[in-house]
A and B are shown apart, each in its own frame.
Chain A
């Protein structure tokens, strides 16, 4: 399918606060080159640099730089196959930028070196101010061509920074560019969550000296206190249809999970016991909620049917299992401790296989990219917390520290297309 996209993005700043460092690459990254086609323009150079950086950031590609090439073809017909086979290059991406007054279009083709043929041709239509976002769409198209999984270069991240005692809830492009401050506060902000249509966010703010859940519209900045209570309210989780928030409150004297219908604030209580019940997360179909409970003495993951409220325990291995979310229908990820460190682990609910995904020490707040294949979480090195991630299929691991201050509580946007 020849899918054409035009992206217009006006932004005030382009400063990356997040600095990516790949700590473990894929075993066999795909070797490619990204070249300009039939021209050599400054804007074309900017675009292929964004694409190269996007693909390099995945850890699943090796992108050759211009100095490493034996010959530089300006289109498919000029490719000298021998030169590229010598370098073990799988494919060459030819990128053609067509710029007019109000448009900036990117045509690209994926040329297979061994078969000497164009495998795919695509087009992204944008305007001159949308260079980065248009380039991200190209990167995502290339990623999908090779891995069959949607690319995530064009998605956004939300996270909390802390520096000089000020907390900022920030949304940025997935590569850290185009930061926008959503909420700035003297008090802690935790548990930010995107609605599934990316129009609203929910989070916990301590601005009134206790945990309260707010829903904020991203466009207008309008905020809504979800429950007015003298007790704490926290851990918001959007239902798949965006109509409900599952959350935790001590309004009845103990940490219990409730369902709040956002429109009319109607409350349904879902748990009832003397233990801690918190950190609700929805199944993909919205029929079940998984949550953390210490009803058996230590925190473990349980699942409940929203309609029947029937509950069953999911985790058995480990002395501490908490903050779970569904990766897909059959697998969940969560914070796991057996002896020693807190790690992010994955449990297959059918096979009961438990896999430790991370090799850092103090891991918390895992979130999942919208393609279901990359996990981002917060961890700590010395006294400074930063973000780190892991790609589930390729095992690529990366760090995403801030240039200054602390980074925590990541939340990945849904696809924005």
Chain B
């Protein structure tokens, strides 16, 4: 791990009258952790099959309503197609990434986005796909496809993206 040390020493001396000797109260130093450099390795990266995987474009995207994690009717034909593919090819692994629009809080959106991904997993599971072959992950509002702050951007961002990773 590459570290750039920036040394900040803060020594605070306090005394209550002018003849009392000085006293050291605190010393502080901060270190930079850089995960972007070539030599930088992130935590657990080596043992984590999902880390830094280049998975390309999603096979299909499913969209959701505001603050909802229920599947809409317009998603069904795509999901049935995925289900059929998975059952015909039991070795396929599907990654489902859930996303939220920017409205509301980041942590609540993280939970909401994971529920959206789970809704896809549940549908596939009920349709007969083994849940061992489905990975679910929530990204909250961290990876928008459209950066705008309007209904058209938000509706594009409330989504689940399905990737075949094997």
Which A residues lie within 8 Å of B34 (CB)?
A: 181, 183-184
| Beta-carbon contacts under 8 Å, B94-133 to A | 102-108, 110-112, 114-115
Q: How far is the CB of B157 from chain A (nearest CB, A)?
A: 13
Is A20 in the interface zone, CB < 8 Å from B? no
Also in contact, A9 and B52, with CB within 8 A (given A190-B106, A365-B106) = no
| Beta-carbon contacts under 8 Å, A185-226 to B | 185-188, 190-191, 198, 206-212, 214, 216, 218-221, 223, 225
Chain B interface, DSSP helix/strand/loop, else mixed: loop
Is A131 in the interface zone, CB < 8 Å from B? no
- CB closest chain-A residue, reference B50: A209
Q: How far is the CA of A168 from the CA of B14 in the complex (A)?
A: 34
- CB closest chain-A residue, reference B2: A184
- CB closest chain-A residue, reference B51: A208
Q: How far is the CB of A229 from chain B (nearest CB, A)?
A: 11
Is B75 in the interface zone, CB < 8 Å from A? no
Also in contact, A208 and B43, with CB within 8 A (given A10-B9, A191-B106, A220-B31) = yes
Is B10 in the interface zone, CB < 8 Å from A? yes
Set B9, B11, B29, B110: member contacting A278, Cβ < 8 A: B110
Which A residues lie within 8 Å of B142 (CB)?
A: 188, 190, 206
Q: How far is the CA of A69 from the CA of B42 in the complex (A)?
A: 58
| In contact, A322 and B33 (Cβ under 8 angstroms) | no
Work out how many contacts link A and B, with CB atoms closer than 8 A.
193
| In contact, A322 and B104 (Cβ under 8 angstroms) | yes
Question: Considering only CB atoms and an 8 Å cut-off, how many residues of chain B contact the other chain?
Answer: 57
Q: How far is the CA of A209 from the CA of B165 in the complex (A)?
A: 14
Which A residues lie within 8 Å of B8 (CB)?
A: 9-11, 178, 180
Set A178, A184, A206, A208: member contacting B33, Cβ < 8 A: A184
Which of A3, A221, A298 counts the most chain B CB atoms within 10 A?
Answer: A221
- CB closest chain-B residue, reference A165: B36
Which A residues lie within 8 Å of B33 (CB)?
A: 182-184, 216, 221, 223
Which B residues lie within 8 Å of A383 (CB)?
A: 147-149
- CB closest chain-B residue, reference A214: B43
Set B12, B36, B112: member contacting A276, Cβ < 8 A: B112
Q: How far is the CB of B44 from chain A (nearest CB, A)?
A: 6
Is A411 in the interface zone, CB < 8 Å from B? no
Q: How far is the CB of B30 from chain A (nearest CB, A)?
A: 5
Q: How far is the CB of A312 from chain B (nearest CB, A)?
A: 20
Binding site for B on A (CB under 8 A): 1-12, 125, 133, 166, 171, 178, 180-188, 190-191, 198, 206-212, 214, 216, 218-221, 223, 225, 228, 232, 234-235, 248, 250, 255, 276, 278-279, 292, 294, 298-299, 320, 322-323, 335, 337, 342, 362, 364-365, 380, 382-383, 409, 416-417
Task: Sort A-B residue pairs by CB-CB distance and give the 8 closest, nearest first.
Answer: A221-B31, A6-B13, A188-B142, A255-B111, A323-B105, A8-B11, A207-B42, A276-B111
Binding site for A on B (CB under 8 A): 3, 6-18, 22, 25-26, 28-36, 42-45, 48, 50-53, 67, 102-108, 110-112, 114-115, 137-140, 142-143, 147-149
Interchain Cβ contacts under 8 Å between A and B, 26 examples: A5-B14, A6-B14, A7-B11, A8-B11, A8-B12, A183-B35, A184-B35, A188-B143, A207-B35, A208-B43, A208-B45, A209-B53, A212-B43, A218-B29, A221-B3, A235-B107, A276-B111, A278-B108, A279-B108, A320-B104, A323-B108, A337-B104, A364-B105, A364-B106, A417-B12, A417-B26
